[in-house]
Amino acid sequence: MMGERSKIIFDDIGSYPLPVGMSRDNLPSGDSYLAVVEDAILQKIEAGVERPTYPQFRDMIKMFMEPIEDPLQSESPYAIRAESARILELEALDVLGKKMEREGKRLQARVCVTGPVELYIARFGATEYVDILDNLAKSVARFLEGAKKGRHFEFSVASIDEPSLGISPNVIFSDDQIKEALEIAARPCEGIDCEVHLHSPLMAELCSGVPGINVIGVESASNPDYLKLVDRNVLEENDAYIRVGIARTDINALVARLNDQLATNLWRDSDRLEREVFAAESVELMERRLSEAFRLFGDRVRYAGPDCGLGSWPNQKMAARCLASCAKAISYFRSRRSP
């Protein structure tokens, strides 16, 4: 083992571009869909992701709310039955994991579930039905518990995705109510790392105090000042860690800025678009971002990778290149600081 710096792990948030010609409105079904999922996971692994997340090709709200709201799959309003809390895409993880086992490898995966607050405001907006929030938290917990039943992959990281916390005015629950819901959702995570994926650092300290959650995800590549809003002492007091974003994923904003600088429209030239994006988002810049995060938080940095998912990127080739750049940046960081 190298020093404590080697413990930083490369994971990704989840979403990924669909193959050319495919959209959410015409997704294949059955084994054909699972093959598309498996291929995307393999692309992530080949790019260097150490804890790949299944690709969120489906809508992050609908894929959970549809079974939760199905009366045949629920035991009470918004509380799904344990036997119905299954994430289809994990079947592809199992298939790929079995193939890797034949090669003497073990697939370690990150499993994300849309969080209870995010699910709640998608349906109920700025209301305050705490019993429904708690039932949604129980449903999230059951999806995470169900993920443990994968036979050929190791469920080593969980993520509760709460991008609206600290941003949306529709979140009117008290801090205690939010903490209780997140604690319920995270209960199956004993023995593994459990991240909460945020788009704002304003709730980072609250989340770090939630039992069961030990990693706080911060989008720090597109918003470097976000790291300054997280108190390292609070993380240490709660024995919590941070996941830092080292690559921007807000492709539309990034390209808009480049278009202004270059007085052109990069969307009309895919080859130049790729060149300019990766000139702006270089491996060296990603490594500097990680180094700065380590300067601020030291061994409280546990995971690093892209800010958010890559589902909005133009194609899988560019998304995979972004992941490969992250892998190189993390590798450089490790090598420069090894004993």
**Which DSSP string do the residues of 5-67 spell out, in sequence order?**
GGG-EEB--S--PPPTT--GGG---HHHHHHHHHHHHHHHHHHT-SBPBPP--S-TTHHHHHH
18-46 pLDDT, tens digit per residue, is 999 999 989 999 999 999 999 999 999 99
- Domain 4-337 classification at class level: alpha beta
pLDDT value, residue 1: 32
Structural domain boundaries in the chain: 4-337
140-172 pLDDT, tens digit per residue, is 999 999 999 878 999 999 999 999 999 999 999
What is the distance of C-alpha 125 from the center of its chain?
23
Q: How does residue 336 score in pLDDT terms, banded at 50, 70 and 90?
A: confident
Is pLDDT at 15 greater than 50 in this prediction?
Answer: yes
Is pLDDT at 223 greater than 50 in this prediction?
Answer: yes
Q: How does residue 339 score in pLDDT terms, banded at 50, 70 and 90?
A: low
pLDDT value, residue 337: 77
Whole-model pTM: value is 0.94
| C-alpha separations of 327 from 80, 315, 320 in Å | 38, 19, 11
Mean pLDDT, all residues of the chain:
95
For the ranges 2-16, 180-194, 197-211, 279-293, which has the lowest average pLDDT? 2-16
For the ranges 3-12, 26-35, 247-256, which has the lowest average pLDDT? 3-12
Length of the chain: 339
Q: Which amino acid is at 97?
A: G
- The answer to whether 190 and 214 have CB atoms below 8 angstroms apart is no
45-67 pLDDT, tens digit per residue, is 999 999 999 999 999 999 999 99
Is pLDDT at 285 greater than 70 in this prediction?
Answer: yes
pLDDT value, residue 222: 93
pLDDT value, residue 7: 83
**Contacts of the segment 101-107: beta carbons below 8 A, 24+ positions apart:** 101/152, 106/153, 106/154, 107/45, 107/152, 107/153, 107/154
pLDDT value, residue 150: 77
Is pLDDT at 4 greater than 60 in this prediction?
Answer: no
- Phi, psi for residue 132 in degrees, rounded to 5: -70, -40
Nearest-5° Cα angle at 131, 72 to 119: 65
